[in-house]
Copies of this chain bind each other. A is one copy, B any other.
Amino acid sequence: MDKRISTVGSSTYQRIKRDILFGELEPGAKLKLEGLKTRYEASLSTLRETLNRLASEGFVDAPEQRGFFVKPVSRDDLTEIAELRILLECHALELSIRNGDTEWEGNLVSAHHKLHRMEQRLLDGDLSGKEDWKRYDWEFHLAMIEACNSENLLSLHSTLYDKYLRYQMLVLTFRGEEAAVEHKQMFEAALDRDTEKAKSLLEQHIRNGLTHTLEAMA
């Protein structure tokens, strides 16, 4: 279907970003170029390009002449990110519910189904697929807002989602049951085109996740 994107640059970008999101590169850690070179088998130039991209997205700090560092984490930062995600995602959801056609509904049903199956498996104790869970959760949240009709909005949201995800991965404790119920309710409200209900459920969903993560961080 889609031809594999396989330049050294883009794959290095994905790998480093992934390692930051999943905590394999620890918050605040110094990113020494020599080290990265052997770890990711890429040249200096390629690495610097990658790190510059990550820096402008906010996953890396790059103080002038002092190299690169994994972005540190903090409770305040997490709170800011969650609040922004609420603001943007609720807005996008409203637009999406207003504009979504049958195609959108179909995608949403499918995304929720896949997420739901995965959640059942997780609740049954099969913890083999942390990465998969992340993917399905992302695809569900994306499917909800995908019809918002604003590329700019989707792109900002995607970055925020990743930042928020990083904190979840850091504390590594899931809300399993509750989150699954919330997903289901949101999903149904969206399909019903009940904008206000869907928005308030989504806000509560993110806020619950925030509280949960903040507690785990303490």
Q: Identify the A interface with B (CB < 8 A).
A: 5, 7, 10, 45, 48-50, 52-53, 55-58, 64-65, 77, 80-81, 83-84, 87-88, 91, 150-153, 155-156
Contacts and interface: CB of A to CB of B under 8 A. Distances in A.
A48 B123 CA distance: 47
A85 to B, nearest CB: 10
Given A52-B52, A52-B53, 4 more contacts: A45-B45, A56-B57, A58-B152, A77-B152
Contacts of A80: 150-153
Contact of A156 (B5, B53, B84): B84
A150 to B, nearest CB: 4
B58 A55 contact: no
A84 B150 contact: yes
Contacts of A10: 64
A214 B58 CA distance: 32
17 contacts: A5-B64, A7-B65, A10-B64, A45-B45, A45-B48, A48-B49, A49-B49, A52-B53, A58-B152, A77-B152, A80-B151, A81-B152, A84-B150, A84-B156, A87-B87, A87-B88, A87-B91
A152 B87 contact: no
A49 B56 CA distance: 11
Contact of A53 (B45, B53, B151): B53
Contacts of A53: 52-53, 55-56
Contacts of A58: 152, 155
